[in-house]
A and B are shown apart, each in its own frame.
Chain A
Amino acid sequence: MAAGGAPASGAAAPAAVLPETAAVSWRPRVDERSLRSRARLWTLSTAAHTVPFTVTAAGLVALDPVLAPVSFLALAQAWAIPELYAKRGANVLKPRRRLDGRAESTALGLLGDLVGHDARELHARTGLVLERGRLGTWLVGEAGAVLVRGRRAYCFCVRVDDPDLPSADRTAHLLLALREDEQGFATVANMAFSGARWRVRRRLERRMRPALDAAR
């Protein structure tokens, strides 16, 4: 599959394998099937966290209505746990500290050259680059990316290991790696959350939300 330095003959040419995947050789390569499987696991995990608390809440009230306050606490727990996971997921898009303004501006110019007009405009508004791939639609940030597939969002923590890079360069690093090998990119990245898009949206910075809305 590795194409090495072979010239590409067009958009449909098979991509080379991302070299960084060698560092995580034990991980199976992410594909449609593995994404669906991980989505099911996340759903099961969410259910395992919420159902017991919900049942407990219902049981307590059934047992004695006086226990309603405790029941409420159990329900709150059932609500909060998935929200905390979603928060962890949304954090992958959290912007990092800005560095030297001139470097940021130079890096922004390069990033702008890599994307089309619409993506450039969206990035200016939200700080995120929208990239359509085969697995779904990606939102690429400085230290992570969110893959949107239908109503589900997969949040990946992935970064370039150089804290001195301007933020737009960090995004460009991730964008180029994603374009080189989408599945490899998803394999190298650590999945922080997979779940309902609306949960992630609630936890995103307000200015970033239009990017998630556009990723349909």
Chain B
Amino acid sequence: MAGMARLIRMDRTGHTTLAEWTAADDASVEAAAAAFGAQLDAGYYAVVTEGEGHARQVRELPADADLVILRRPIAGG
């Protein structure tokens, strides 16, 4: 399954893989986009890492990304 992109959510289990897709497989991208949208609606933020030290928030599933991470909002303690 090498080359599959993953949508993961950081949660109490460590993390959960919600979807896997390949850019060439429209059905898998569609399913991942649906899962992605549902998580954003639930209050998660989606982040794509761009090498060490850089990350970018995304509001649509980037089909060409290798890994999309869902995180909860942070706040001052």
Contacts and interface: CB of A to CB of B under 8 A. Distances in A.
A binds B: yes
Contact of A8 (B12, B54, B74): B54
B3 interface: no
A173 B59 contact: no
A172 B71 CA distance: 9
Interface stretch (B18-26, B27-35, B45-53): B45-53
Contacts of A15: 54, 56
A92 B76 CA distance: 11
A15 B56 CA distance: 7
Interface string A72-106: 00000000000000000000100000011011111
Interface residues of B, number: 30
B11 interface: yes
Given A11-B51, A19-B57, A190-B76, 11 more contacts: A5-B62, A11-B50, A15-B54, A24-B76, A131-B53, A158-B77, A161-B74, A165-B10, A165-B11, A173-B74, A177-B74
Interface of B: 8, 10-15, 45, 47, 49-60, 62, 69, 71-77
